[in-house]
Every structure is written in structure tokens, then in C-alpha cells.
Amino acid sequence: MASKESDFLRELYQSWSERMAANPNMTIDDMRDVFDEWERPTKEPEGVTYKSDCVAGVNAIWALPLDADAKKVLIYTHGGGFVVGSSSSHRKLAGHVAKALNATCLVLNYRLAPEAPFPAQLDDVIAVYKKMLEKGFLPENITMMGDSAGGNLAISSVLNFRDKGLSLPSSVIVFSPWLDMELTGSTLDENDATDALVKRSVLEAMAGMFLGENGSATNPLANPLYADFTNFPPLYINAGSEETLLDDARRVHSVANKAGVNSMLSVVDNMQHVFPFLAGRAVEADEEINKIAVWYRGLAS
Amino acid sequence: MASKESDFLRELYQSWSERMAANPNMTIDDMRDVFDEWERPTKEPEGVTYKSDCVAGVNAIWALPLDADAKKVLIYTHGGGFVVGSSSSHRKLAGHVAKALNATCLVLNYRLAPEAPFPAQLDDVIAVYKKMLEKGFLPENITMMGDSAGGNLAISSVLNFRDKGLSLPSSVIVFSPWLDMELTGSTLDENDATDALVKRSVLEAMAGMFLGENGSATNPLANPLYADFTNFPPLYINAGSEETLLDDARRVHSVANKAGVNSMLSVVDNMQHVFPFLAGRAVEADEEINKIAVWYRGLAS
């Protein structure tokens, strides 16, 4: 049974769905403001300081847990269908994960669609990654991390780094990744009644804005379910059982496994999309983040 | 001449004004989301940690600068016409001020109108203040602080504490206070062309929601320009020269001065409403916050 505290996220999503249904012509600016409410479920992680920065032209927030290992960094690409979400909406979530992993975290405000369609997001992330290597961060101390569309971007960026011949990060962690731009996952319909936010119509609209005129729904860098995962670093994937995107998590786990990747899938019962947003509030999120920390530490040993 | 960086706040306000004009039936929820963009001008203050809390039933965020004097606290009541704004929109601003003053800061999510009209806000703040005294904070180590409507609330709360026989905080700091619920200030019209956000029509709507059925625009606890400032603690007031609310700042300074209060008024040329939101971005905000720190330290000596 889900904790009472976890209702907060479901109710937040329900309120967004109702507001979007009541205002079908909602502007992109208004929708971005609604999704910035994503910060609400997350309690402030204690003992974390922050710093505004601009890395390779990309605005970002550093989350700096006190006493974190400054050599280790998580590069976090936020969710929001490549259209909404921000470093502000994800600051606290990133802070919780960084603290648990005893690492620093750079939360990127990469360019969003429709103003900047595919591959602008990949271009921003690889520019940041190269700049981090220039600054002296070692690939083995870098983890790519993201949720939802940002989980796609974390994975596709590593594929992009590999294809460009760069040394790869040590690991990739994704929450509720949205990968399938063709929207063929079985849970899109099976979990339509339980997922309070992510509906086929929303995904269709966002995929259209993301892919724009030049993107393809089957390009492995837009849809990593089509990718070759050879030599991909260890991958941690989670999802909630109530999600329409659950099947994306399962399928990328399967694809990665078949390619010999060290892949871990964690599906948590009765949880909504990107339930780690409940960090500090609901036990399910805190336990999941602890589980990720154990996995992360295990990679080094 | 204003710094180029300070244009950020004016342009943000212009964008809000355009969006509200284009959507005259904007819901309260949507308007709250728009005003939560208030966090955007402010850079992260470095070396500050945060903690979510609930004090006397009021949700709040602690801003805890590293090495701050934990005995000293600023109780911060955010602006937004008593209708919008949040501890999230003001977290970074509060962090900058707390850091400059070497104090901790408690940023309150007090109840908002129209759901909770006057005097719900005063009730929340006095409950928090009593709880802080119970927790062992000394009145001489407490400063009440706020911006815009929250500047009103900082001042009216101290009047309320005094009327209820409580020991008073050591000082009160207000940014661009909105005090006059009758909207009689001369700058409402004089600065209508230069203020990118605060227009008479917006204030009228917010005053109506705030006062509700039981409030009066001439009640000294809703409109401190009608208050007796006898025994009021030292008061720091600032405003921007471009503001429609400039006259509220000038008038409360005059009223307080006449009652023998140690009152300081700082008007900064070419600045918009609550220009300290530009902390970490524009020199005018950083200089103003330094000036407040000098004034605050001077009180103790």
C-alpha cells in the first residue's frame, strides 16, 4: 500500500490535468509555470548549498552537499517532455540524490522545444560534458542522470558521446524515462486510468514539438529503444507501477540487458511518474534514493 | 543609469503584464504560478543550506547560511498582494539577505487571500512569533522582514504584537511595501508609465481579495499608514524610483519618523518593485543588501 504522504504527487498531477483540460489553449509559458510546481512535493534536502552557473553556455544550478566528494558529479537533465521543467523544478530532487550519493550535481537548463527542437538538447549536453572534462572531471567520476524526457536525454547523450568517440561516464541513472517517441508501450493504455498526469495526448503533443521538422521518432538518439547499447555504462532505471511510461522503463532495461549492459530496474508499487519527487516527504522516494546510493557505491567496489 | 543586468526584472514584469492582459480571466492558480517566476531574477546565494519546516501550523523554509549566528533570525513574509507569492519564490532572496546579515531566516508560507482574507495573515504571523519565543529565540534577536504586501504584513504584525502586549522584535526591514489599501499614493499615477508590473487595477483586485467582507481599508492593521507607530522598533524601508508604490514607502517613513521611530528610507534610482530580487545578478540589489547589513549591524552597536 502506498504511503499517505505519496498522495501529494498524485493529487498535484490530478490538479495539473484538470487545469490543462479546462484550458486547452494554455500557452507554453503558462504550461512551463504549471510544471515548475514540480518542486512542491520535494522537501528541502538539509545540508546542501547551491550555486548558479553557466557551463558551455548552458545555465545550470550546482547542488553541493556539505562534505560531498567534489571530484564526483552527477549531470542532471530534468524532465518535462523536452518542453517544460527547469533546473528550479528539479533543484531539491537533485540535491537529495547528490546528498545520498555523496557527490555534487549540476542541474542543467538545457534548451527546450518547440523553440529549440531535436537535437538542440543533445548539443547542449555534449557541450557541457566536454567542458566538464576540460575542467578536469574524470569520466569515471561522472554520472549522467535524468527523469522522464530528461532520462531519455541522459541515455541518448551517452550514446552520442560514444558515437563521437568520447570517454564515457561511469554510470547512468534514470527515473521514469520517456524513450518511445512512437508511443507503442503497452502501459500507455493499461495504466491510463492510474497515471494521473502522463496521457497519450500529452506525449503526442510533446513528441511533435521535440522532433520538430528534422527529428525522427525512430532515430536512436531521439528514441533510445532503437539504439545499440554496446559498451553502455551501468544503468539504473526506475518507474512507478501506476505509470503509463512503465513499459518504456521495462523495454530499455531489456534492450540494455541483451547488449550486455549492467542494468538494474526498480519498479515501485503504486507510484506515479517520477515518484522520487517525493523525497523528504514520502518513504517510497527516500527508500528508492537509498537504493540508488547502494547501487552507485557498489559500482566503485 | 541602471545596470544592464537590472533589465531582467523589468522585462520579467513586462512579460507578466502582457500575459495577464492577454488572459484577463487568468485563474488564481495560474496567477500564482506566474508570480512564482519571481525566483528567476535571483541567483543562488552560495553557502546557504535550507530546511523545510512547519512552525505553529505554518509551512516555511529555513535559509541557513553557513556559520550564521543561529540565535538571530529574520522572519520573512513574502510579497504578492496577499494573494500570490510563496516561500519558493522568495527563498533565494531571503538567503541573500540572511547571509549578508549573518542571521538565519524563516520564510513563511502564510495563508493567502481570497481563500483566507484579513486577518488570517496576521493570525499566522503572530502564531509563528509566539512559537519562536517559546522555542527560546529572544525578541532582540528577531527581525521582521518582508516585501510588497509582505512588507505591510511585517509592519502590521509588529503593531499587532505590540497591541497584544508581546515583547517586540529588534527591527523591521521592508522592501517596496504596499501599505495603502485606499490607493491614494501620488506615485500610483506619476509612475504608472515606468512601473512594469504594479498597476492600480491589479492593486484594487488584490485589496478586494485581501480585505474580504470583514476587513477595512482604513484599519491600521490592514493599512499601517493609519497606525500609531509609538514604540515601533527601528525600521528600514526601501523602494525603487520607478515604482507606483514609491509613495507608500515615503509615507510610512514620514509617519514612523513623526512618531519618533528610528526609520531609514533608501530609494534607488531607476529600480522596479522589489528590486532586491536581482541579488547576485545586478549591482543595485547587492549594494542595497550590503547597505541593509551595515544598518542592521549598526543597531547592535
The pLDDT tens digits for B12-24 are 999 999 999 999 9
Residues B4-9: what's their mean pLDDT?
98
**Closest CB to A30 among B30, B39, B40:** B30
Q: Is A77 exposed, middle or buried (0-12, 13-18, 19+ CB in 10 A)?
A: buried
Sheet holding A69-77, edge to edge: A48-55, A58-65, A103-108, A69-77, A142-147, A171-175, A235-240, A263-268
**How far apart are the CA of A95 and the nearest CA of chain B, in angstroms?**
11
Domain containing A155 — which CATH number?
3.40.50.1820
Q: Is-catalytic flag, A18?
A: no
**Closest CB to A46 among B30, B34, B49:** B49
Residue (of B84, B90, B119, B121) closest to B106 by Cα position: B90
Question: pLDDT confidence of A78, banded at 50, 70, 90?
Answer: very high
CA quadruple B265, B268, B273, B274: dihedral sign: negative
B52:A37 CB<8 A: no
pLDDT over 70, % of chain B: 100
Residues B123-137: what's their mean pLDDT?
98
Q: How far apart are CA A152 and CA A174, in angstroms?
A: 8
**Closest CB to B49 among A40, A47, A280:** A47
Q: How far apart are CA B189 and CA B195, in angstroms?
A: 10
A88:B30 CB<8 A: no
Position B49 scores a pLDDT of 98
Look up the domain containing A88 and give its range.
4-299
Q: How far apart are CA B59 and CA B146, in angstroms?
A: 16
Position A214 scores a pLDDT of 84
Q: How far apart are CA A175 and CA A143, in angstroms?
A: 14
Give the residue from chain A lying closest to B42, CA to CA.
A52
Residues B240-263: what's their mean pLDDT?
98
Q: Which of B157, B273, B284, B288 is catalytic?
A: B273
pLDDT, tens digit, for every residue of B22-40?
999 999 999 999 999 999 9
Helices A28-35/B7-22 angle, 10° precision: 110
Q: Which of A6, A86, A148, A171 is catalytic?
A: A148
A49:B51 CB<8 A: no
- What residues of B are in contact with residue A37 (Cβ under 8 Å)? 33, 36
Give pairs for A130-134: CB < 8 Å, separation 24+.
A130/A56, A130/A166, A131/A55, A131/A56, A132/A55, A132/A73, A132/A75, A132/A106, A133/A166, A133/A167
Q: What is the ipTM of this complex?
A: 0.96
Q: Which of B148, B156, B176, B263 is catalytic?
A: B148
B19:A34 CB<8 A: no
Residue with cell 498582494: B81
Best mutation target among B49, B277, B286 (most A Cβ atoms within 10 Å) is B49
- What residues of B are in contact with residue A34 (Cβ under 8 Å)? 30, 33
DSSP 8-state assignment for residue A3:
-
Is residue A211 within a helix (H) or strand (E), and if so which, with residue range?
A: helix A200-211
Question: What are the grid coordinates assigned to B247, written together?
Answer: 509613495
Q: How far is CA A161 from the centre of its chain?
A: 18
**Closest CB to B280 among A45, A52, A280:** A52
**Closest CB to A44 among B44, B45, B51:** B51
Q: Which residues does residue B268 pair with via DSSP β-bridges, in sequence order? A: B240
A61:B44 CB<8 A: yes
Question: What are the grid coordinates assigned to A253, written together?
Answer: 532495461
Q: Which of A242, A273, A284, A288 is catalytic?
A: A273
Whether residue B272 contacts residue B197, with contact meaning beta carbons closer than 8 Å, is answered with yes
pLDDT over 90, % of chain A: 97
**How far apart are the CA of B66 and the nearest CA of chain A, in angstroms?**
9
pLDDT reading at B300 higher than 90: no
- What residues of B are in contact with residue A52 (Cβ under 8 Å)? 43-44, 280
Position B1 scores a pLDDT of 85
Q: How far is CA A69 from the centre of its chain?
A: 22
Position A82 scores a pLDDT of 98
Q: 3-state DSSP call for residue B188?
A: helix
Whether residue B82 contacts residue B113, with contact meaning beta carbons closer than 8 Å, is answered with yes
Position B120 scores a pLDDT of 98
Position A301 scores a pLDDT of 72
Q: How far apart are CA B154 and CA B152, in angstroms?
A: 6
A29:B15 CB<8 A: yes
What is the DSSP pairing of strand B142-147 with strand B69-77? parallel
pLDDT reading at B47 higher than 90: yes
pLDDT over 90, % of chain B: 98
Q: 3-state DSSP call for residue B146?
A: strand
Whether omega for the bond prior to residue B41 falls within 30 degrees of 0, making it cis, is no
B49:A34 CB<8 A: no
pLDDT reading at B301 higher than 80: no
Average pLDDT, chain A: 97
Position A300 scores a pLDDT of 84
CA quadruple B213, B218, B223, B229: dihedral sign: negative
Q: Is-catalytic flag, A148?
A: yes
Q: How far is CA A294 from the centre of its chain?
A: 19
pLDDT, tens digit, for every residue of A148-184?
999 999 999 999 999 999 999 999 999 999 999 999 9
Position B277 scores a pLDDT of 98
Q: How far apart are CA A96 and CA A44, in angstroms?
A: 8
Q: Is-catalytic flag, B134?
A: no
B30:A29 CB<8 A: no
- What residues of A are in contact with residue B46 (Cβ under 8 Å)? 49-51
Give the residue from chain A lying closest to B89, CA to CA.
A88
Position B135 scores a pLDDT of 98
Position A199 scores a pLDDT of 95
**How far apart are the CA of A51 and the nearest CA of chain B, in angstroms?**
5
Residues B179-189: what's their mean pLDDT?
98
Q: Which of B87, B156, B157, B243 is catalytic?
A: B243
- What residues of B are in contact with residue A61 (Cβ under 8 Å)? 44
pLDDT, tens digit, for every residue of B202-243?
999 999 999 999 889 999 999 999 999 999 999 999 999 999
Q: Phi-psi region for residue A186, left (φ > 0), alpha (ψ -120 to 50) or beta?
A: alpha
- What residues of B are in contact with residue A39 (Cβ under 8 Å)? 88
A48:B47 CB<8 A: no
Residue (of A132, A20, A162) closest to B27 by Cα position: A20
Give the residue from chain B lying closest to A59, CA to CA.
B43
pLDDT reading at A259 higher than 80: yes
**How far apart are the CA of A50 and the nearest CA of chain B, in angstroms?**
6
Residue with cell 508499487: A269
Is residue B71 within a helix (H) or strand (E), and if so which, with residue range?
A: strand B69-77
Give pairs for A154-158: CB < 8 Å, separation 24+.
A154/A75, A154/A77, A155/A179, A155/A224, A155/A227, A155/A235, A155/A252, A156/A122, A156/A220, A156/A221, A156/A222, A156/A224, A156/A227, A157/A77, A157/A122, A157/A125, A157/A126, A157/A129, A158/A232, A158/A233
Higher pLDDT, B300 or B283: B283
Q: Phi-psi region for residue A166, left (φ > 0), alpha (ψ -120 to 50) or beta?
A: beta
**Closest CB to B88 among A29, A34, A39:** A39
Question: What are the grid coordinates assigned to A248, written together?
Answer: 518504456
Give the residue from chain A lying closest to B87, CA to CA.
A40
**Structural domains of chain B, count:** 1
Cβ neighbours, 10 Å, residue A189: 11
Longest dimension (CA), chain B: 52
Q: How far apart are CA A153 and CA A160, in angstroms?
A: 10
